[in-house]
Chains A and B, each alone.
Chain A
Amino acid sequence: MSQLIMTVDDSASVRQMVNFTLKNAGYDVVEASDGKDALSKLSGPIKMVITDLNMPNMDGITLIKNIRANPAYKFIPIIMLTTESQATKKQDGKAAGATGWIVKPFKPDQLLAVVKKVLR
C-alpha cells in the first residue's frame, strides 16, 4: 500500500517535479495549487503534506494552522518549502505546527531523504 502525500505549491513546475520524484519512489501524490485548494482536497488517507509558503488565496503558514486544527490530520508530518532568505519563516512555520523544512532549491534526493525521515 503506497502512502499518500499531498504537495501544495503555486508553481506547476515544482509540483510536477515533486510529483514525479515521489511517485518514482513508490508514494502516491495529490496536488494542490494553494492553501485553499489544499484544504478542499484534505480528505482520505493523506499521510503527509509538503507545502510552499508563498501562495495566493491562502499561504502556507495559514494552511499549516488549518491542517493542525483538523483532528483527523492533527499529527501528520508537514514539511514547508522555504527559501534561504526566509529564516524567520522557519520560526513562524514551526510555531504554526510545521514538522520540518526543505530549503529551495532542492534536489530530488534531498526531498526523498526528508520524506523518509518524517514518514515511517
Chain B
Amino acid sequence: MPQDDINRQAFKEEAYDLLGELESALLELEENPRDQELIDRVFRAMHTVKGSGAMFGFDDIAAFTHDVETAFDKVRCGELPVTRELLDLTLRARDHILELLGDTTGTRAGSAQAKAIIAGLRGLAGAAGGQDAAPADPASAAPGQDEALAAASGGEAVTYRVRIRPGRDIMLCGTNPLALLAELRDLGAGQVAAHIGEVPPLSELEPEGCYVWWDVILATDKGEDAIRDVFIFVEDDCEVTIQVIDTLGALEGDSTYKRLGEILVERGDISADDLRRVLGEQPRLGDMLAEAGVVSREQVESALAEQAAVRRIRKDRDEQATASSIRVAADKLDDLVDLVGELVIVQAQISQMVSTRGDQELTTLAEELERLSDELRDSTLSVRMLPIGTTFSKFRRLVRDLSAELGKQIELKTKGAETELDKTVIERLNDPLVHLLRNSIDHGVEPPDVRRAAGKDPCGEILLCAEHSGGEVLITIRDDGKGMDPASLRAKGVERGLIARDADLTDKELFSLIFAPGFSTAQKVTSVSGRGVGMDVVKRGIDALRGSIDVDSRPGEGTTITIRLPLTLAIIDGLQVQVQDEFYVVPLSLVEECVELIQSPEERRREQQVLNLRGAIVPYLRLRDWFDIPGAPPEIEQIVVTGVEGQRVGIVVDHVIGEHQTVIKTLGRVYRDVEGLSGATIKGDGSMALILDVPRLVRIAAEARG
C-alpha cells in the first residue's frame, strides 16, 4: 500500500531528525549532567523513535530502543545518574539506530555490537534497581482488534439481559451512555428499558450527573465477550451485569417465556416472599407489586418489556425456522435421487424408441419429457449440494485455538466459500481437511520470531480455497510456512525403508512420500500431529471419495496441498463413444471437441502419439490399447479432445455416438479399483456403457509414458 510507504518514509525522516537532536542533547548533557530539561528531551526522543517505529513496522528499531528508553526513564526519575558510561552507551546506541534506519535488509539487528550496547545499558539500569517492563508486543489489546475472538465466542443467537448501572460521574470523563447503548444495538436486536426512578427533583439535581440506568434485552450471535467489549473503557465507572435468558435450545421447550413475577425475582428486584404474598391477592400482578411499594413501576415495566421482547424474538425465530428450511432425512434424499435416475433411464429409452418411429406428435411429447426430466434431475441433485462455506467457518476457530496453543500467529483466509459440493462429500472431507490444517499449523508455519528472523511477516497465513474446475472440485490449502525439504524427505524415506537408497525420485514424488503409512518427519510427537498416522489416513479418505491429493512445496516459502474431487453427481451429461463393440461415456464437461484421425499402420506404430491441432500439440491415448480391446481399428478414427487440469489430451475411439444423459451407477466393490473407470451406466437400449474417469486416465497415461 502506498500509504504504508509514505508513513514509513515520514517516520524515517522524523527519526533522522530526532537522532540528530538526540546527539546534540547528549553532548550538551555531558556538560550539564543534571539539566532536567535535557534529560527529558533525550527520553522523549527515544520514546518517540520506539513508539512510532513500532507503529510503522520498524520492529527491530523499536526492540533495540526499548532498553535505551528504559535506562533514561530511570534517569528521569532520578534513580540513575548521568555518567560518562551512560552517555557513551547512549551515543553508540544512537549510532546503531542510525545504521538500522539506513539498513533495509535487517541483518544487523542482532549484531554483536547491538548486544554489547544493550548489555551495558541493562547493567546500568539494573544497578539502579526496579523492574523493567517487557518490550511492547504489537499484539496489544486495543478494542476492535480481536474480532476473531469475538466471532469465535459467538455463533448462535442468544438473548441476554444486560443491566447497565453507570456511576454518577461517568459523563465527566466524556463517556456518552447513549453511545454505549448504540454500540450494544450494533450487536443485534435490542430492547432498551430506562430506569429513571433515581432522578432527584430539580432542586437537588446535579445536571452533570448520570442518574439513569438501563436494562437492555439483546438478541445477538456475537457472544458475551462482544458485549463486554462495549464497556471496555468504563469498567471501573459502570456496573454491568450480563445474564443469558434465552438460547436457541429453548425452542424445543415451552414457547411461553417466564412470568413477570419470575423475572422480577430472578433480577433480584423483589424477593420470592414478596411475590408470594402479593400473589395471594388478585389481578394485574405488576400493578399490585408497584402499589405495594415493593418494586418501582419502572422495574415492572422493564420486566414486562423483557417478557414481550423475548416472546417476540422467539416467535420470529419460530417463523424463520419453518419458512426457510426443512430438515430432511438424508436417506430420503438418496431414495429420491435414485428414483430420478431410474426415470432418466426410462426417458432415454423412450426418446430412443420415439426417434425411430417418426411420429411427429410423439416426438414432440418425448422432447418435452426430456426437458422436464433434465430440470428434475438438476433440481434434485442440487438439493444435496451445500456450499462448503459452513465447513470453512468451523475451521477459523480451529486455526485460532491451535495457533494460540502453539504460540504462533496464523491467519486463515478462505476463498470460494460458496462452492457447492454434495453433502456427503463435505462430511467426508471434514476430517482430512482438519488434519491437513493441523499439519500446516503444527509443522508448516513457523513461530513468529523464526519468521521475523527469516524476514517474513510474523503472522503466517493459511489460504483455504475451493473452486469448480472442469468436472472437478479443487480444494487447496496453501501456507506460507517453512515448506518441505526434499532432501530430508528422501532421507526419511530411505530410513523408513519406503524407497531404495539409490532411487532416483523427482521432488514431486518425494513430497508424495508424506502420504505413505508410518512416515513422519516431525522430531517430536505433539498433541496435534507427528504420530505418523495422519497423512496416509487423509489420502485414503480422499481416495475413497475418488479424488486425488497433490503436494507442492518450496523450502522456506511454503507448502500447497491440492485436493481434486470428481463432481460425483449421480447424473451427468455424457458423450457416448464406441470402440469395437464396447461403449464408453466421456463426461461432457471435459470434452472440448472431436476431430478425425486418419493414420497408416506405420504411423500408428510410432511411439510419439501427438496431434497437431491448429498449431497446438495435443497428446493422445488410444482406448483400444488402454483397455486391450481386440480387433482392428477402422480407417477413420475419432479423437475426443478433452481438457483436464488445463491440459488437453485426446482419447482415440472408433466412433462418437452422441450426447447421452448418463446416470452413474457404481461398479460395485469388485471393480472399484479398476483404473480409468468411474462407473457405469445403462444406455437407451438397455445395454451397458462404462464411464471413463478421464482425469485419472490422463494422469496414469502421463506417468506411464514417463
Contact = CB atoms under 8 A, between A and B. Distances in A.
Contact of B174 (A10, A12, A14, A97): A97
B7 A77 contact: no
Given A105-B54, A114-B144, A77 B133 contact: no
B10 A109 contact: no
A23 B416 CA distance: 34
A118 interface: yes
A11 B142 contact: no
A56 B41 contact: yes
B contact patch SS: helix
B233 A99 contact: yes
A118 B44 CA distance: 29
B200 interface: no
Given A10-B44, A11-B14, A118 B136 contact: no
B14 A13 contact: yes
Contacts of A113: 142-145
B175 A56 contact: no
Contacts of A11: 14, 48, 51-52
Max count, chain A CB within 10 A of own CB: residue among B62, B136, B182, B183: B136
Contacts of A103: 136, 140-142
A3 interface: no
Interface in B97-151: 133-134, 136-138, 140-145
Interface in B427-472: none
A63 B54 CA distance: 25
B495 interface: no
A110 B40 contact: no
A76 B54 CA distance: 29
Contacts of A10: 44, 48
B55 A118 contact: no
B202 to A, nearest CB: 20
Interface string B156-198: 0000000000000001111110110011000000000000000
Given A75-B171, A94-B236, A107-B145, A13 B178 contact: no
Interface residues of B, number: 45
B283 to A, nearest CB: 43
A45 B657 CA distance: 80
A48 B52 CA distance: 22
Contacts of A110: 142-145
A104 B54 contact: yes
Contacts of A68: 172
B11 interface: yes
B47 interface: yes
Contacts of B56: 13, 17, 105
A104 B142 CA distance: 9
B3 interface: yes
8 contacts: A13-B52, A14-B51, A16-B10, A54-B48, A75-B171, A94-B173, A102-B142, A120-B176
Given A54-B47, A84-B140, 11 more contacts: A10-B48, A17-B7, A68-B172, A75-B174, A84-B134, A84-B137, A85-B133, A105-B138, A112-B144, A113-B143, A114-B143
Interface of B: 3, 6-7, 10-11, 13-14, 40-41, 44, 47-48, 50-52, 54-56, 62, 133-134, 136-138, 140-145, 171-176, 178-179, 182-183, 208, 230, 232-233, 236
